[in-house]
């Protein structure tokens, strides 16, 4: 989508869209904590992106250089009971699930500390790129809590049960390099370079067929939810759907004619 515009209602969650790339910046100094206000605004931003057919990729990042998103607003925990806590968890899970289900790649540029809910936000993204100064961790057990925005589930699926237990039981944050070594982040880049690296990766993805990427994302997510045979059937179904698109015919023709493909853009 040509041009550059803001699509968020407030300064705490800023959305800019340029040439099909949406950048969502959480700006809540000093550490971009996920207060209820920020979560509500982030929810609205994700809903807006879900309705925007011009979006081809999304980057999530934090303002400043100190923190990506450093967790929830701990002050509120003092006054919450069991039902309040359950609802807080469900509300956060819903927002991150909506983001996860966007039909485009969602890349997380972890520019600093990603702790608690901030780490869980990163886990719900498709790709994680962390700056060398980033720290990633789930310190909830030190507060008498457990991760509540999907951390116990997504972390286990991403790196396995044993390593997930170590990270959650110790509450000890990992460096970007440590996170990269265990497959928790896809790239570790020099300090201040996370956003640029995310933009570069998004640009490569956006050269490809948006319809094909959407279908590939659906199939990949099913791999974690189904038995192999069911997953293979889903893959075959989506492969057939992709085969019938104009993008497929254009991609094949461009390959044979040795020219760049011109995929359908909204």
pLDDT band at 72 (very low <50, low <70, confident <90, very high): confident
Angle at 254 between CA 250 and CA 256, to 5 degrees: 120
Mean pLDDT over 207-231 rounds to 95
Residue of 53, 140, 196, 235 marked active site: 140
Q: In the chain, list all ranges with CATH 3.90.226.10.
A: 4-206
Q: Are 120 and 158 in contact (CB under 8 A)?
A: no
Question: Other CB atoms closer than 10 Å to residue 111's CB: what's the count?
Answer: 28
CATH number (3.40.50.1820, 3.40.50.2300, 3.30.1330.10, 3.90.226.10) of 4-206 reads 3.90.226.10
Residue of 53, 120, 166, 235 marked active site: 120
Q: In the chain, list all ranges with CATH 1.10.12.
A: 210-256
Is 178 a catalytic site residue?
Answer: no
| pLDDT above 70: residue 247 | yes
* CA distance linking residue 177 with residue 187, whole number of Å: 9
Return mean pLDDT, the chain. Answer: 94
pLDDT band at 1 (very low <50, low <70, confident <90, very high): very low
Q: How many residues does the chain have?
A: 266
Does domain 210-256 bear CATH number 1.10.357? no
Is 191 a catalytic site residue?
Answer: no
What pTM did the predictor assign?
0.93
């Amino acid at each position: 989508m040509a041009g550059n515009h803001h699509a968020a209602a407030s300064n705490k969650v800023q959305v800019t869209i340029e040439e099909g790339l949406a950048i969502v910046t959480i700006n809540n100094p000093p550490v971009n904590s996920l207060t209820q206000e920020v979560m509500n605004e982030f929810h609205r931003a994700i809903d807006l992106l879900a309705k925007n057919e011009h979006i081809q990729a999304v980057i999530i990042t934090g303002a400043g250089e100190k923190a990506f998103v450093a967790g929830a607003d701990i002050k509120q925990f003092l006054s919450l009971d069991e039902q309040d806590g359950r609802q807080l968890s469900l509300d956060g899970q819903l927002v991150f699930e909506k983001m996860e289900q966007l039909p485009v790649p969602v890349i997380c540029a972890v520019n600093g500390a990603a702790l608690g809910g901030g780490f869980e936000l990163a886990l719900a993204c498709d790709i994680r790129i962390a700056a060398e100064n980033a720290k990633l961790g789930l310190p909830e057990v030190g507060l008498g809590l457990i991760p509540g925005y999907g951390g116990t589930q997504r972390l286990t699926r991403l790196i396995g049960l044993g390593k997930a237990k170590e990270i959650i039981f110790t509450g000890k944050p990992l460096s970007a390099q440590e996170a990269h070594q265990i497959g928790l982040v896809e790239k570790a880049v020099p300090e201040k370079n996370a956003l640029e690296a995310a933009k570069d990766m998004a640009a490569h993805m956006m050269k490809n067929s948006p319809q094909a990427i959407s279908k590939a994302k659906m199939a990949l997510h099913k791999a974690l939810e189904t038995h192999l045979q069911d997953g293979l059937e889903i893959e075959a179904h989506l492969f057939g759907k992709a085969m019938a698109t104009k993008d497929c015919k254009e991609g094949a023709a461009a390959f044979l004619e040795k020219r760049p493909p011109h995929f359908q853009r909204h």
